[in-house]
Chain A
Amino acid sequence: MIGIDGHVHPEVETVNPYRPHRARITSIVDLTDNEKLFELRLIDEESRAEFSHSAGQFVEVSIFGVGEAPISISSAPSKQGFIELCVRRAGDVTGALHDMRCGDIIGIRGPFGRGFPFEQMKGSDVLLVAGGLGIAPLKSLINHIHDERHAFGNVTILYGSRTPSEILFRRQFEMWQHRDDFDMVLTVDQADETWTGEVGLVTKLFDRIDVDPSNTYGAICGPPVMYKYVIAEMRKKSIDADRIYVSFERRMKCGVGKCGHCGVGHQYACVDGPVFNYWEAMNLQEAI
């Protein structure tokens, strides 16, 4: 059963899930005062070629001497060779990342977790609802849908921010409001002089949208307090619980279901999620 095979354990060097791969920061865009968009390229060509993710998955950003933090991938899986991370300055790792410059090298582990069921969503309408930084993982899904737009029915994006200056990807999304192939609505809790759009919580926008309940998938990501209310609105539109997908933020430390920090109900967000459908999430204690 157990073999004593001497001191040699090559897998510690080779297939070690905790070992970060080096990645170069190839672009940094200031999105808001507190959020930046980082473009990263894995340095090792083989790792770069092997890397593929699905929308909703995350990576562990690793800065030696500081630590690691889970960050969802914002770029579409259809974009090969690089990934984009939308990062808020929130803790030690994200703070250190914000202080870095283009060309600097960080570590990446992943991608980890279960993303949105992209293939399954094809052929349907999609209603995406984001609050604040929750747009980060949804951005990957939005971009992926964009790249295969013909495969989907109506695509509606409702995105709420606290203030206009906190809207992520504001320029792009404001332009998208004029597109025919996406129904994009932005709203803010508090307007300022630059704002001519909607004011109020994202849930208010449900009054103005039509949903075909038999053929719509919902996707939600936002601050913890948001889920309950947005799900209720989707349920009012008669979208089935198992067609509503939510992405949860938890403390994913190891990313591989071992360290225990991201427990949500009886599951681990890092391997069983972070994307769950509402039917599953309903059965996760303290999830919503």
Chain B
Amino acid sequence: MFFRMIDKDRLPDLVRGLAAEFEVVGPVAKGDSFVYAELEGPGDLRLDFDSTLLPPKEWFMPPRERIMRFATADNEVVDCEVDAPPRVLFGVHPCDVNGLQLMDNVFLGDRPDPYYKARRENTLIVGVNCQPSDTCFCNAWGTDETHWGFDIFLSDLGPDYFVSVRSVKGAELIDRHVESREITHQDTRRFQEVTARFKASFPEPLDTSQLPLLLDAKFDSPVWDELGERCLSCGACSMVCPTCYCFDVKDVLDPDHAGGERVRVWDSCMFRDFAAVAHGANFRESRSSRVKYRYYHKQWGYLSKFERVLCVGCGRCTRACLAGINPPEVIAALQGAMSREEVAAE
């Protein structure tokens, strides 16, 4: 890693420079919120965004994606093309950079997903630091910072950016498109001060101690019944989650039925048919079992494979859930929860 300083008013040069070579996607305003969208110019870019409605995952695994075209007559694959234009995701918060790393474990690890891989390889990530909002709890998982998974990372020091450069390509682009200078000891100091203020601005971190163990020990806790009663089973939490990767696959026939396309769509374990098999058995019919599974998988199932929790504390599900179900409260409830036996004994 090496570092550079860029004056804030020079940043549009970088955006314009990148736009000549790449599709540049960044946070832009939408109503009272922000979304990632292709920038028409540097002026669209809103690096002061708090969060985006959808996480960056949509640029690597779109909500609906054609994975192949087929011919029905002889059950043949016609083609498996992937649309992966050279792209820069400009302005990704540390939580979301972490989110992509967690997606990478699934899609780039054993038997890689070629669609995700193609887009991941064709996308540069420009990270940017942030300020915690009232729904953020990234400090619980250490995902309030990131040390890899980006090409360039911008830390806002007021008049200028402290720029961490991770990749050769990132370095090349900085050199080519924007005036920058070497960092000084003073710059590093200022960077540390900003970091310290950022860390201090979080409330007490969530108590996540022994979560995997508690999920098993309190698997039958009435906490889950209560959550099941509240859950709308709408799946909004999964859609807005930067780490929910589950998908369904459907065939869509052309009007003449001679061919069609196999499409992949985002799915949610909150949906009733998610764990149902063809001849009637449904392994998670009840709402409570579905809500529980979401937490069980995020805090333990994924962790058992990749040694990390499948949550980056971005707070999107907290904002999306109209029923008010959110990880900090669920986890706190679980810490304090009684098992069914304990409840019965009272």
Contacts and interface: CB of A to CB of B under 8 A. Distances in A.
Query: Per the CB under 8 Å rule, do A and B touch in the complex?
Result: yes
Interface of A: 1-7, 9, 11-13, 15-20, 22, 62-69, 88, 90-94, 105-107, 223-224, 249-251, 253-254, 256-267, 271, 285-286
Interface stretch (B130-138, B228-236, B244-252): B244-252
Nearest to B238: A260
B307 to A, nearest CB: 13
B297 interface: yes
Interface in B62-81: 67-68, 70-72, 74-77, 79-81
Given A2-B169, A107-B75, A285-B216, 8 more contacts: A1-B151, A13-B80, A91-B278, A105-B74, A251-B277, A256-B110, A259-B246, A263-B275
A1 B120 CA distance: 11
Given A261-B275, A267-B304, A285-B296, A254 B249 contact: yes
Interface string B40-76: 0000000000000000000000000001101110111
B144 to A, nearest CB: 21
25 contacts: A4-B22, A4-B169, A7-B84, A7-B122, A9-B82, A9-B121, A11-B117, A11-B118, A12-B118, A15-B112, A18-B67, A18-B249, A64-B70, A66-B251, A67-B249, A67-B251, A224-B283, A258-B106, A259-B246, A259-B247, A263-B297, A263-B301, A266-B303, A285-B216, A285-B219
Contacts of A105: 74-76
B70 A65 contact: yes
Given A16-B114, A18-B67, A263-B269, A1 B249 contact: no
Q: Report, nearest first, the 10 A-B pairs whose CB atoms are least far apart.
A: A91-B278, A260-B246, A90-B279, A9-B118, A266-B301, A90-B278, A64-B70, A12-B114, A256-B111, A1-B167
B189 interface: no
Contact of A260 (B74, B269, B276, B279): B269
B125 interface: yes
Contacts of B107: 258
B90 interface: no
B301 A265 contact: yes
B246 A2 contact: no
A75 to B, nearest CB: 21
A172 B22 CA distance: 65
Contacts of A265: 296, 301
